[in-house]
Structure 1
């Protein structure tokens, strides 16, 4: 029942169907997800987070007559709240499902490259909060296209990768 996605055997499968598929196909490993499929998943996640903010956060601020604007070079309570929703969405979805809604649609999953550590809260925090904050210059995501394991900076820091759930390649 071991899975290979980085040259090592790991026991990190999410369903019995994947276990049987992996056992019936020895000599294969998960295929790493490239730039474009991750881009489209992230774009879909942006739509989800924006919708949550517009359907939940914005009406709450309107009902409580809280300002949504801020002065020059200062943060408003609204911008801080929407940022918390953004980071919380990615952290909670990745921790509990190993994928966000965008990744679910495109059949992607976050895996740890250090299976003994797994996707613990500290790994998730480092990947989804600190890594995404560092990647706030979206141009840095382009490195996904050029690295062998298709890792972004946030993946590199957390020692994780994004793989296709049902796509394998020969070792």
Structure 2
């Protein structure tokens, strides 16, 4: 070996010693339920509107017809409109609380899940189904954001920290786990 080659090797070693050690990462694969997109949620909502209309027609309209009160063309503060709204919101709250899905969601194979806990509390449901749904129904473009968010969340989902997922469909995700400097255990994770 010549002196020139020895100097290059020494320079390479010096450079390698100055370079900080890169932490070792481990890639872990896991499966999570696939979020339900705009169109499947839209069709489930249309089915739910049919169910609510049928419930209102079966439960409320006959009573108002017997009493002789008007049911068409009434203002929002009329008794018929108030009872119809109670059935509408009650349907969504009670079905989601007890089954985590409405009839439309059952037919489409999707369900509501909380992003923070395993259970849907009454407060979460009231925020999601009353306040959030009122905003989404009143301002339609706000409901369209379901198609553009990573977890397919609408405004009502953001308010309640929930999302809607497919029951039988999963997606594969990768998780990077950073090992500790001494090589014992994993301490930092990040999904990508």
Could you tell me which runs of 5 or more consecutive residues in structure 1 were left unpaired when the two chains were aligned: 1-25
Bigger fraction of residues in strand? 2
**Which residue does 1:101 correspond to in 2?**
103
Task: Give how far 1:97 is off.
Answer: 0.2
Runs of 5+ consecutive residues of structure 2 not aligned to the other structure: 1-28, 174-192
Residue matched to 2:152 = 150
Distance change in 2, residues 1:65/1:93 (3 Å): same
Alignment length, in residue pairs? 144
**Deviation at 1:76?**
1.0
Which residue of the partner structure matches residue 30 of structure 2?
A: 27
Larger Rg belongs to: 2
Match of 1:170 among 152, 169, 172: 172
Q: Please name the residue that 1:62 is paired with.
A: 65
Q: Which runs of 4+ in 1 moved over 3 A?
A: none
8 Å contact from structure 1 (residues 109, 162) kept in 2: yes
Calculate the TM-score normalised by the size of structure 1: 0.80
Contact 2:36 2:166 in 1 (8 A): yes
Please state how far the C-alpha of 1:64 moved relative to its aligned partner. 2.1
After TM superposition, list the pairs within 5 Å mapping 1:85-164 onto structure 2: 85-115=87-117, 118-135=119-136, 136-164=138-166
